[in-house]
A and B are shown apart, each in its own frame.
Chain A
Amino acid sequence: MGAAGTIRFLLDGEIHSVADGAPTTTVLDWLRERPGRTGTKEGCAEGDCGACTVVLAELAGEGVRYRAVNACIRFLPTLDGKALFTVESLRSPAGSLHPAQRAMVECHGSQCGFCTPGFVMSLFALYRSDRRPDEAAIRHALSGNLCRCTGYRPILDAARRMYEYPHDDGAAGERELRERLDAIRVAQEKRLDGAGGRYVAPTSVAELAAALAERPAATILAGGTDVGLWVTKRHAVLPDIVYVGNVCELASVTRRDGFLDIGAAVSLTDAFAALLAEYPDLYEIARRFASPPICNAGTLCGNVANGSPIGDSMPALIALGARVLLRSAAGRRELPIEDLYLDYMKKDLRPGEFVQAVRVPQARAGLLLRSYKIGKRYDQDIAAVCGAFAIGLRDGRVASARVAFGGMAATPRRAPACEQALAGAAWTAAGVAPAIAALASDFAPITDLRATREYRAQVAGNLLRRLLAETSDGGTPASVWGHAG
């Protein structure tokens, strides 16, 4: 039995320890270079193509939860206490293919085969977590995997076909897996401190605050869906990392004082599930935010704390009046989320301070709520414009309005002139026209690789038109994706 302070994970039943090497070694590089498991592929090294998809299993209540993640931007020490499954893990002990693999063969789901291991792992995660996925769930499960050969039809067929074979629920192995996961359960703060850099993974908020007080310049790591790219794309050396993912207190969504508190270690997958339960109208942004492998790794607080002008969660959170709970060794404070953002990638975060939770007000009756994301592609894209609206109506007039946009300024921002023009306005085309015009004084968007300033300006106003259309006269269909209104 290894020391309790060792970073350990399971791969095909075997415990691997992480003792040396840079903490920023990716799971992908480790797999390909150490055990020589070359089935997992690098397609982009930024979590956008899915060729590197692997599955992580961890204890969840009485069972085991299986989730697909991108190995290319996942740092090895963050596997602590988890079980890693790769495409090589799936054959039965007798050597036969897993239903996901067999279905891919029989449905002609592979051509060049390079994306295939990633698809197989996404299918495997789906297989283990959903016994009867509908078409939408299947497409969502595969939305983080790019295939350049097939046109996806045979892979969609395989996703249905795999359920037609005798079910392989892995129950036989699962009890053993639970025991092994239990044996490597993370019970205390872990540290790596070698030539490759320092890595601290606290297990309590107090430890986390202390770690950051000690090293205020450390990189705070949660899901790594952005930090991972600093390493794989910019070749940045991160000498000092503090990982929040093992802090149990931060891994839950709780209700307090009329708010939903979403902790810093809550994945986007779980955060959106909680948000959707409260606000079903956020379906579009939840679906289009990112692929399951990204949402399984990334956190809502990470998206908020990162503070990119094109972070797609913030417009909705701002429109809802969400707040951020900030924490440091010196104490805690709370801000309206929009006040966190000072300027391009500049936040009101003091040294040693971190986002402990995002606090989202609980649902209120009668609120018109939408968050629209406009991009070139439905799946896994970054918005050219992301607009969110929370409108309260009384007697056909706007009683309250919060409007926020991403992609329109250096930060995610409210639209004060638009909100002011909406106040008291009739909920009609003529009534909202001044609010649309007012957006010109709220924003001076820029031209970049995703869109021109003219497009952004026009679409921002048109999204308000879309909201009006969807919510008046019984609702006019206004989205090509059919789930609006």
Chain B
Amino acid sequence: MPADRPERAPRTAIRGGVGEALPHESAHLHVSGEALYTDDIPLPEGALHAAIGLSERAHARILELDLDDVRRAPGVVAVLTAADIPGENNHGPVVHDDPIFATDAVEYAGQSLFAVLATSVNAARRAARRARVEYDDLDLVPDAKTALARGAFVLPTRRLARGDAQAAIAAAPRRLSGALATGGQEHFYLEGQVAAALPGEDRTMQVWCSTQHPSEVQRLVAHCLGWTAKDVVVQCRRMGGGFGGKETQPALLACIAALGAVKTGRAVKLRLDRDDDFLVTGKRHPFELSYEVGFDDDGLIRGIRLTLASNCGRSVDLSDAVNGRALFHADNCYFLPAIEIVSHRCKTHQPSHTAFRGFGGPQGMMLIECVVDDIARTLGLDPLDVRRRNFYGVDERNLTPYGMTVEDNVIGRIVDGLVASADHAGRRQAAARFNAENSLLKRGLALTPVKFGISFTATHLNQAGALLHVYTDGSILLNHGGTEMGQGLHTKVAQVVAEELQVDIGRIRCTATDTSKVPNTSATAASASSDLNGKAAQAAARTLRERLAAFAAAKHGVPADAVQFRAGRVRAGEAADVSFEELVQDAYHARVPLSATGYYATPKIGYDPKTLTGRPFFYFCYGAAMSEVIVDTLTGESRLLRVDILHDVGASLNPAIDMGQLEGGFLQGVGWLTSEELRWDERGRLLTHAPSTYKIPAVSDWPTEFNVRLASWSRNREDTIYRSKAIGEPPLMLAMSVFHAIRDAIAAAAGGGVPRLDAPATPERILFAIDELRARNGRPAA
């Protein structure tokens, strides 16, 4: 494949075109404290602060809710309960099963019962604790295992089969079964959930909300008020992190703020403190995973049965789509000729688990990676060899279990490149030497691949809009349906517009996401926002460019295709060469419209949700990581020593931003699989609800040796925006290399065999996994 990018215009003098490693558009505001987040927006005099009264029980009937003491507390102006909701008591995005305020029963500890409005944040929070609630405890379902045993589901079980898996397993030379649990994960966006509502004239409401999905917040706010979407404007300039946690969760806060604003006629702000944020909002779905596999003596998989049971929490939320994506990623990079996948969607008394970077994909992939690793360790083969042996082919063995042909497979090239650059063979030998010489510390090494499908699996969501204004001074205002949560979306989309109109990016301002500018937007999610909004903005820019070109062509008597935009100037053949702003002024005076919308719908995709087959994804992203860890066999502490990554983003729109997503996603995945442990007590209450007890990676967790690269040769074979690929989610799953490196070290410590290790691999789990494997190997514990 050629290293250049033929679709892209040749390099020009504009600053900030596509492919340039520009800093984030807000970087100068971030570092100076000038970037405004929702909580920083000044509200009018008399604005109130809200706090939510939370259930202390995980599953109980509410016998009495006595709020007299709350009302009497200092600073309290009003109290809101379900009786104060003029419209629908719901903030559920898909199924209407999430009450804003619980009425008869509570189904998780932390569920919202009421809200209090007071003159200060602290007054509201203190008052909210003064409620007297009488409960009658009901049966607790604490986890997916219990739910399975009791048949408690939020949605029916789904099954996807190709061929006769049972027969293929039975006929295979070798068979193996196993199980694995993956833990939940708190998003831990640094900015907690927050929304503010300002009542306007004539039954209208302005809402500021830290949300990945302003349109949904708009709809749910309108419906809880008994209004319609036209009455509510939702705006989000930026979020202090989202990671999926602000896809559906913010609606509860926005609804409460809006209800309070209607009730009092004053502006109301609701910001959760960190502990409440942990308690109230959903997390990554914990999964119970198991498999039965038949394979041959070389480790080639003949048939496989996979069971994926997710802990969805108390309601549906996005669990159908999350579990769907888990199912669609249970193959990862591997061709599974005969397969049966069973997907259980368990109901538990936890917050409703929700979108989190990867959206079920990571859990599905964790299972198949354990399968291939277990096969390799059972056969005494190098896990990398077994992985490669089972990879999808390029022209054959390339049909996924859901019937989509993998047309863009580059995992072989990625892995070959990484094996060479990271010296897999040499490092394996070095680790073995180290392990022979060290009794207490053991090293482990693993290389794991990633293939991640891009598009919302709900096909209708794959659309986007943009709005572009050119002013008579040649400056440009850009708005699109995507939200900025740190991922650099606004930077990339502005680069697209700069490239299309051939102007410096300094001319362009990308404004806050606003439901009154671009309507009916999809969530900024599924890694697809640059793809979707980039294309929509491109369409808007092209509309404007074509109008301007037609105008210039007519004016100067040249064909439209002789008009060229290049580096801030516009040439009409040999007839004219004017600056962009001169052309714009001329066009204005000639009454050419200087505002345009753009729209994009992803082509080619579509699948049947009844059969779970078809083409859910426009294309796939690929990547691979090799990690090396060291494990302390006395305490189970582990440390990531080195990581090598080669990742495919197609032709990058902005390599600096993509690198940031790549490294950050990887480390977030490392947290999920190592240090981030959610612990619930026997009564179903979350014990780890602050950074003092819930440990996301800190600076020392970034390894001292790292070689992280984008695959410079890659370009998307599909017609995406400038042939780029998505970057948001796929890197998270590169962290599986760390988990498997830990397994490798455990095996080394125990003298071989198949480790039994659940995620997260905490020091405790690692220590006990070593002991357990040593016991199976007939060796004494340390």
Contact = CB atoms under 8 A, between A and B. Distances in A.
Nearest to B485: A112
Given A38-B36, A51-B190, A88-B33, A378 B664 contact: no
A101 B31 contact: yes
B569 interface: no
A449 interface: yes
Contact of A39 (B34, B126, B636, B675): B34
A476 interface: yes
A41 B438 CA distance: 46
Contact of A143 (B189, B487, B659, B699): B699
A153 B706 contact: yes
Nearest to A377: B695
Contact of B692 (A382, A455, A466): A382
Interface residues of A, number: 86
A111 B191 CA distance: 12
A378 B700 contact: yes
A63 interface: no
A375 B763 CA distance: 8
Nearest to B121: A29
A478 B782 CA distance: 13
Contacts of A477: 438, 440-441
Contacts of B191: 41, 43, 112, 114
Interface stretch (B1-9, B239-247, B337-345): B239-247
Contacts of A454: 768
B40 A376 contact: no
Interface stretch (A115-123, A261-269, A360-368, A394-402): A115-123
Given A113-B486, A145-B699, A235-B126, A154 B441 contact: no
Given A43-B274, A449-B687, A479-B632, A148 B190 contact: yes
A90 interface: yes
A46 B274 contact: yes
Interface string B512-526: 000000000000000
B635 A459 contact: yes
A91 B32 contact: yes
Nearest to A232: B273
A49 interface: yes
Contacts of A44: 274, 690-692
B656 A108 contact: yes
Interface residues of B, number: 90
Interface in A7-51: 36-46, 48-49, 51
Interface of B (DSSP majority class):
loop
Contacts of B27: 104-105, 108, 110, 113
Given A111-B487, A111-B664, A114-B190, A376 B695 contact: yes
B692 A480 contact: no
B631 to A, nearest CB: 7
Interface in B655-677: 656-657, 659-660, 663-668, 675, 677
Given A37-B33, A465-B634, A111 B764 contact: no
Given A41-B191, A51-B190, A149-B660, A112 B238 contact: yes
Nearest to A104: B31
A86 B441 contact: no
B260 to A, nearest CB: 20
A146 interface: yes
Given A114-B191, A376-B763, A462-B782, A105 B699 contact: no
A135 B23 CA distance: 25
A320 interface: no
Per DSSP, chain A at the interface is loop
Contacts, number: 263
Contacts of B12: none
Contact of A480 (B631, B693, B696): B631
A149 B125 CA distance: 29
Nearest to B434: A477
Given A154-B660, A463-B634, A476-B438, A112 B240 contact: yes
B189 A87 contact: no
Contacts of B696: 146, 148
A139 B189 CA distance: 22
Contacts of B545: none
A235 B129 contact: yes
Contacts of A452: 764
Interface in A285-319: none
B440 A110 contact: no
Contacts of A448: 687
A125 interface: no
B240 A114 contact: yes
Given A104-B31, A449-B693, A379 B699 contact: yes
A153 B667 CA distance: 10
A151 B659 CA distance: 10
Most chain A CB within 10 A, of B26, B30, B687, B768, is at B30
A377 B698 contact: yes
A151 B635 contact: no
A43 B666 CA distance: 22
Nearest to B271: A42
B618 interface: no
Contacts of A378: 639, 698, 700-701
Interface string A442-465: 000000111110110011001101
30 contacts: A38-B33, A38-B39, A39-B33, A45-B274, A48-B691, A49-B274, A101-B32, A110-B27, A110-B486, A111-B487, A112-B485, A113-B35, A113-B238, A116-B31, A147-B664, A151-B668, A151-B697, A152-B667, A155-B699, A235-B125, A374-B637, A449-B688, A451-B764, A455-B636, A455-B764, A459-B767, A477-B438, A479-B441, A480-B630, A480-B637
Given A38-B36, A152-B699, A477-B441, 13 more contacts: A106-B23, A110-B486, A111-B664, A112-B239, A113-B26, A113-B35, A235-B126, A377-B675, A378-B701, A379-B701, A449-B679, A477-B438, A478-B634
Closest CB pairs A-B (n = 8)? A39-B33, A112-B486, A114-B240, A113-B30, A151-B663, A111-B486, A87-B33, A48-B691
Interface of A: 36-46, 48-49, 51, 86-88, 90-91, 97, 100-102, 104-106, 108-117, 120, 135, 139, 142-143, 145-156, 232-233, 235, 374-382, 384, 448-452, 454-455, 458-459, 462-463, 465-466, 469, 476-481
